[in-house]
Structure 1
Amino acid sequence: MIGLASVEEKDEASILEILYYLSELAVKYAREGLESDTKRLIERIKEIGIASALSGLELVVTNTLLLYSPVAKEACRKGLENAVVSIALAIGEIGKAAGGQKMEVPAKIAASCLGEMGNTAAFTRTRKETIAVIFALGEIGKSVTNQSLGDAANSTVTILGETGKVAVNQNFEDAALNAELLLQEIGTGAIEKNLKETADSSVRLLGDIGRTADMQGLERVLLQAAYSLETIKFDAQDRYLVSASLIAEVALMDFDNLGLDKLEEKLNKNWRRKRKFPDIEL
């Protein structure tokens, strides 16, 4: 295992050489359909990426994230679903660590990589990967928001929202619900940090997901959007963030026309109070 101490003892060139070797080997294992071996190397690469973030090695962190792409493509081609899930979660953990160290560029790259994976996973109706991608994006989004990294927060929220809409279009209800709850959490965090653009984007995307859910007939997703918008609206009013409050109010007015009062009793209370990420434990 390569930990923080091992990374600190090596120069960047040496660490990158190890990463390239591990990535090439992971691609080879994926090509051969050896999922357990592929996952083992994904984990090793993740450990180096996180340790590099904690050591302030931004170049290494960036390269670590980019090296997952060929492994993910080969794993997708071979149908190694659990390996793809492992990659999504690994990227999320590295992106979260990077955000925690105020490394904005790697955090944005991590979100971008996940966005690409999320779209591909959802369009091919692979629900498990979509849930993992949404979870990972949420971890990055919360991390960069907590560190007041506005640009990274904005891009992550946008990708999370778009992935949520794709999940709705594919009728992945649980994935869409989790996306909404994460947007709510990030949105309220953005309000606390006075990240107005991130808060506004969270609200807009919740409205978009709700309207898409209505077209798809996903009542629970539509209703969760309304609850999340109400939560952010009141938080925004308390903090005098007028734009987020107004955007939420307009979206809720649209939802009122859909007869949401008839849907309230259908919402499972667990979804209103607790995120669930089923089927991603490996």
Structure 2
Amino acid sequence: MIIPLDENEALELGLNLVDEKNEAEINEVLDYLFELVLKYAKEGQEDDTKRLIEYIKKIGQAAATAGLESIVVNTLLLFPQVAREACKQHMENALVSIALAFGEIGKFAAGKRMKTPAKIAACCLGEMGNTAASRGARKETVAVIFALGEIGKSVTWQRLGDVASSTVALIGEAGKIAARQKFEDAALNAELLLQEIGTGAIEKNLKETADISFRSIRDIGKTADRQGLNRALLQAAYSLETIKFNAEDRYLMNASIIAEVALLHFERLEIQRLEEKLYKFSRCKRKYPGMGF
């Protein structure tokens, strides 16, 4: 196969080859695009780097939809080296694009019940989150947490228990790091995602995933408290109370007890007021079923 010199043609060719399930030639196209994106990253050409990341992501998404697991894995493994070069060149927007690409491909892979690609994407994001925090990169940290959330929601929905648990743990760790860095918006996002995933885990009977979600929210809240992040602290308590309330409503007492134990760490907050808010909201929700958290 002769790889076209035009990048757009390479993308179109790659997508057509995915339709044909021609894995050998898809890998050739990916290698071609990888060499280009790495060149752009080394030269500090951020816009070109972002464009090629998007092209590679599209092929990875298409491969996931087509069930080509080995291609999805190969696609994901292209990004870490590009991320290292982008980091050297201080190209935060390119790093954000890579984080979002991991999230999108991981989400699509999870939707097809592909455990290995979903886990690889989540682990790579975990590493990116640690590096971003050490550099004080707020925007990248927010992107990493969002991307982990996309994977976390998908693997929970598909009942991929072990991958769901490990992904939730990574969200929790990223949230704690964000709180330590006083990135309150990122910490809040992590708490909200953990609340959503924890509630979903209860519904899917993924007890370990739900447990890790509760404990992660608690740990982010404790870190937020130490750092004086009052909104994140309040959100942690509110998220735990919400999960506890929903668990009780479904007669899932084990989950309710775990959430209640986690809540004990926030005794100085006026939890009773939160309960009253939740009770009022629940009545409104039952009156108007179209509403949701």
TM-score normalised per structure 2: 0.86
1:261 deviates by 6.1
Aligned-residue CA RMSD (Å): 2.0
Residue 179 of structure 1 aligns to a residue whose secondary structure is helix
- Which ranges in structure 2 are unaligned for 5 or more consecutive residues? 1-10, 275-290
Which residue does the alignment assign to 1:171?
182
Q: Would you say the 8 A contact 2:41–2:89 is kept in 1?
A: yes
Larger radius of gyration: 2
CA contact under 8 A between 2:18 and 2:26: conserved in structure 1?
Answer: yes
Larger relative contact order (CA 8 Å, sep ≥ 6): 1
Q: Determine which of 182, 193, 218 is the counterpart of 2:204.
A: 193
Identity of aligned residues (%): 68
Q: Distance in 2 between matches of 1:218 and 1:7?
A: 47
- 1:59 matches 2:67: no
Of 109, 113, 120, the match for 2:131? 120
Q: How does 1:47-126 map to 2 (within 5 A)?
A: 47-126=58-137
Partner residue in 2 for 1:161: 172
How far off its partner does 1:238 sit? 3.1
Q: Distance in 2 between matches of 1:146 and 1:50?
A: 18
Task: Check if 1:254 corresponds to 2:269.
Answer: no
The partner residue of 2:192 within 181, 184, 194 is 181
**1:83-136 Cα shifts (integer Å, max 9, x gaps):** 000000011000000011111110011100100001100111000000000110
Q: Is the 8 A contact 1:4 1:54 kept in 2?
A: no
User: What's the offset of the Cα at 1:240?
Assistant: 3.8
Distance apart, 1:4 and its partner CA: 5.0
2:56 equivalent to 1:33: no
Note the residue ranges of structure 1 that are not aligned, 5 or more in a row: 265-272, 276-282
Mark the CA change 1:70 to 1:232 in structure 2 (over 3 Å): closer, same or farther.
same
CA shift for structure 1 position 242: 3.4
- Residue by residue, what CA displacement relative to the aligned partner does 1:185-208 show, whole Å, maximum 9, x if unpaired? 001111111111111110010001
DSSP-derived class of the 2:182 partner: coil
CA contact (8 A) 2:17 2:26 kept: no
Residues of 2 paired with 1:172 and 1:68: CA distance?
25
| Structure 1 CA distance for aligned equivalents of residues 292 and 251 of structure 2 | 27
Structure 1 CA distance for aligned equivalents of residues 232 and 59 of structure 2? 38
| Structure 2 CA distance for aligned equivalents of residues 261 and 8 of structure 1 | 54
TM-score by length of structure 1 reads 0.90
**Secondary structure class of the residue paired with 2:136:** coil
Q: Runs (4+) of structure 1 moved beyond 4 Å?
A: 260-264
**Alignment size in residue pairs:** 266
Which of 13, 20, 23 does residue 12 from structure 1 map onto? 23
2:229 matched residue in structure 1:
218
Conservation of the 8 A alpha-carbon contact between 2:34 and 2:78: yes
